[in-house]
A = this chain, B = another copy of it.
Amino acid sequence: MAERQQNSDSPRFSSDEQLKQGIEAMFFAYRGFTADPDRILAKIAYGRAHHRAIHFIARSPGTTVNNLMSILGVTKQSLNRVLRTLIQDGLVLSRQGSVDRRERRLTLTDKGSDLERQLSDAQRTRMRAAYDKAGPEAVDGFRKVLEAMMDPEMRHKYHAVRENGT
């Protein structure tokens, strides 16, 4: 067994125990990950589904319903219910596409952007604290492992969003 000494504890290879710890870390961390936005959303009677929609519309303004469906991995009915309330409440704007007029191009209104910023700030504050605490090398590893955990299809969407977003 090739021993690569490098950590404080003893994770030299991926024993089942190491893997279980990783699994539990994902579980507990994801709770923290959503906790702050969830608190904000609860106040205004929205849920996590609204947050996800808002996030990816902000990320790729002008995205279509179909695209959003495939990114979020939900049915159009499920997504539509969320979008409807967001449109009614004046957070999201749905305009007919100019080239293909069957499509709806989704963007955030100013009000929607405000909420997005609020949610994003809350979530990023925690992420930033975690990043700072763990250090830049850890962050690099964090992202590497997460990316390796994704389904290939999701990995593709992950990169696609980044291209669009920057």
Interface residues, chain A, with chain B CB atoms under 8 Å away: 4, 6-8, 11-14, 16-33, 35, 52, 55, 59, 73, 120, 123-124, 126-151, 154-155, 157-158, 161-162, 165-166
- A90–B166 CA distance with the chains assembled, in angstroms: 52
Copy number of this protein in the oligomer? 2
Closest-CB distance, A36 to chain B (whole angstroms): 10
| Contact between A139 and B132, CB atoms less than 8 A apart | no
| Contact between B146 and A29, CB atoms less than 8 A apart | yes
| Contact between A147 and B27, CB atoms less than 8 A apart | no
| Contact between A138 and B145, CB atoms less than 8 A apart | yes
Of the candidates B6, B24, B73, B165, the one whose C-beta lies within 8 Å of that of A136 is B6
- A165–B22 CA distance with the chains assembled, in angstroms: 13
Known contacts A26-B146, A29-B149; A162 and B126 CB within 8 A of each other: no
